[in-house]
Amino acid sequence: MASEAPGAAFVALGLAAPLVRALVKEGYERPTPIQSQSIPEALSGRDLLGCAQTGTGKTASFVLPILQRLSKTQRHGGIRALVLTPTRELAAQIGERVTAYGRHLGLRHTVIYGGVGQRPQEENLAKGPDLLVATPGRLLDLMQQGFVRLDRVEVFVLDEADRMLDMGFIHDVRRVVAALPKQRQTLFFSATMPREIAALADNILVDPARVSVTPARAAADTVEQSIFFVEKADKRALLEQLLRTSSVERALVFTRTKHGANRISEQLVRVGIEALAIHGNKSQGARERALDRFRRGVTPVLVATDIAARGIDVEGVSHVINYDLPNVPESYVHRIGRTGRAGATGSAISFCDSEERALLADIEKLLRRRIPVAEGQAPPVETAAARPAARPEPRPAARPEPRRAFAPEPQRPRGPRPPRPPRGRRS
C-alpha cells in the first residue's frame, strides 16, 4: 500500500509511537512474519513459544514488546527484563538492537558475557539497568558474586534454546530460571525443538501462544541451495574457483573444525583471496575484529565453525559455502540462514565428498527435499542409484557437455576433477 504512513504496519501491531519512530529510522517498512505473529501476543502479556531461526527478525519480536512494557511500568532500580542468549556475538547484537529500537525511550540496558574482563560489567550493573542481556556462564558468575539479582524480573527471554543445549548450557539455564520470580512473562525461542527443549519449554512456560515461522526443516525460501559432489582433495581448488566468481560479494565458509577454519583461511590468503577465520579459540578481540572487517567488506571471506558463526548478523552475505557438511543436520539450516536475510536473496553451496554422503542424506531428510546438484555437474552415479524415486537416472550418453558453473581460476586452468567412482561406502 503506497499511501500507508511509514510505520503504519507496526502501529497496527500495537507498538507505541517512540518504538515505531525508531523502526522507521532503521528503514523497516513492515514486520516480518515472526514479528506479526509474536508482537501482539507478547504485548498482551502472554507467554510465548517461538520457533524461528536467526535471520527471521526474531530479535525485534521480543525486544520491542519488552521495551514497550518497560516504558510503561515503574522503574525500581532492579533488573526488570532478562534476555538469556548462548553466545557473546548474539548478546552483543541483541544489545545493539535494544539501543536502536529503544533510542527514544530512555531505558537502561547492559550486556554481559564471558571472555572479557568482568570489571566494566560490574560497573554497568551498578548503574541499575532495566534490561539485562546475558550469556549464562557469566551471568551465573556475577550472580554468585552478588552483582546481579533476578528477583524482580518481570519478563524473561530464552533465546536460541536449542543452541544452549548443543553448547552444554542447559544446566546453567535451569539454574538461572530457578533464580527468577515465578510470576513473570516468559518468551522462549528456539529454531528447532528437540525433546529436551520441548520438555524445558513445557516446564517454564504457562499456557504459551505458539508461533512458528521456519520449522526446522524449512530453509529460507530466499536461499538458493546447491551441492557439489567433490572429493576431499579437490575441495580447496573448487572453493578458490567459486570465490573468484564475480557474483561472490561476501562469503561465509563453514568448516567442521577450528583447525580446518585456520588452514583454509591461510590457504586462501596465500592465493591472494582476503580471508579470516573465526572460531572459539580466537580471543574475543580477534573475533570482533574479524567480524568488523567482514561487515565492512574489507575482508570478503570469513571462514567459521558452527558455534563461532552462531549469531553472526551481517547483511549482504551473498554466499554461504559449506566446505564440510555439518554433523548435525539442523546446523545446515542455521548455516544457510546466514545468507538471504530479511528478504535478500542468497546462495548456499555445499561440498559433499564420498565420506559425507550419509550427512547429506540426513540433511535432505530434515529438509524433506533434495538439494539440487550444482549446475554443470552431474550427480555421482551411486547417489543417483541410491535415490531412485526423485532423481532420474543420469543419462551420460545423452547429456550435453557439462557447462562450467564458474570461471576457471587463472593459475589452474582445469576445473574440479569429476567425482571419482564410489569407494564402496554409502550410507
Task: Name the residues that contact ligand AMP, by CB under 6 A.
Answer: 28, 31-32, 35, 54-60, 313, 315, 341-342
Q: How far is the CB of 117 from ligand AMP (least distance, A)?
A: 27
Q: Give the nearer residue to ligand AMP in terms of CB position, either 343 or 421.
A: 343
Q: How far is the CB of 54 from ligand AMP (least distance, A)?
A: 5
Q: Give the nearer residue to ligand AMP in terms of CB position, either 37 or 383.
A: 37
The residue among 416, 381, 376 whose CA lies nearest residue 399 is 376
Q: How far is the CB of 121 from ligand AMP (least distance, A)?
A: 23
The CA distance from 225 to 344, in Å, is 14
Could you tell me if residue 319 is left (phi over 0), alpha (psi between -120 and 50 degrees) or otherwise beta?
Answer: beta
State the DSSP H helix or E strand holding residue 334, giving kind and residue range, or none if neither: helix 329-336
DSSP state of 373: B
- Nine-digit cell string for 368: 524433506
Q: In what order do the strands lie in the sheet with 275-278?
A: 223-229, 346-352, 319-322, 251-254, 301-304, 275-278
The residue among 376, 370, 374, 366 whose CA lies nearest residue 390 is 370
Q: How far is the CB of 385 from ligand AMP (least distance, A)?
A: 40
Q: Are 395 and 245 in contact (CB under 8 A)?
A: no
Q: Are 101 and 39 in contact (CB under 8 A)?
A: no
Whose CB is nearest to ligand AMP?
59
- Please report where in the chains the cell 551465573 appears, as a residue: 140
Q: How far is the CB of 407 from ligand AMP (least distance, A)?
A: 31
Where would I find the beta strands (DSSP E) of 177-282? 185-190, 209-212, 223-229, 251-254, 275-278
The overall longest dimension of the chain from CA atoms, in Å, is 77
Q: Give the nearer residue to ligand AMP in terms of CB position, either 191 or 405.
A: 191
Q: Give the nearer residue to ligand AMP in terms of CB position, either 314 or 360.
A: 314
Q: Give the nearer residue to ligand AMP in terms of CB position, either 235 or 338.
A: 338
Q: How far is the CB of 62 from ligand AMP (least distance, A)?
A: 9
The CA distance from 183 to 90, in Å, is 27
Q: How far is the CB of 64 from ligand AMP (least distance, A)?
A: 9
Q: How far is the CB of 113 from ligand AMP (least distance, A)?
A: 17
Q: Are 197 and 311 in contact (CB under 8 A)?
A: no
Q: Give the nearer residue to ligand AMP in terms of CB position, either 83 or 140.
A: 83
Q: Give the nearer residue to ligand AMP in terms of CB position, either 32 or 135.
A: 32
Q: Give the nearer residue to ligand AMP in terms of CB position, either 258 or 341.
A: 341
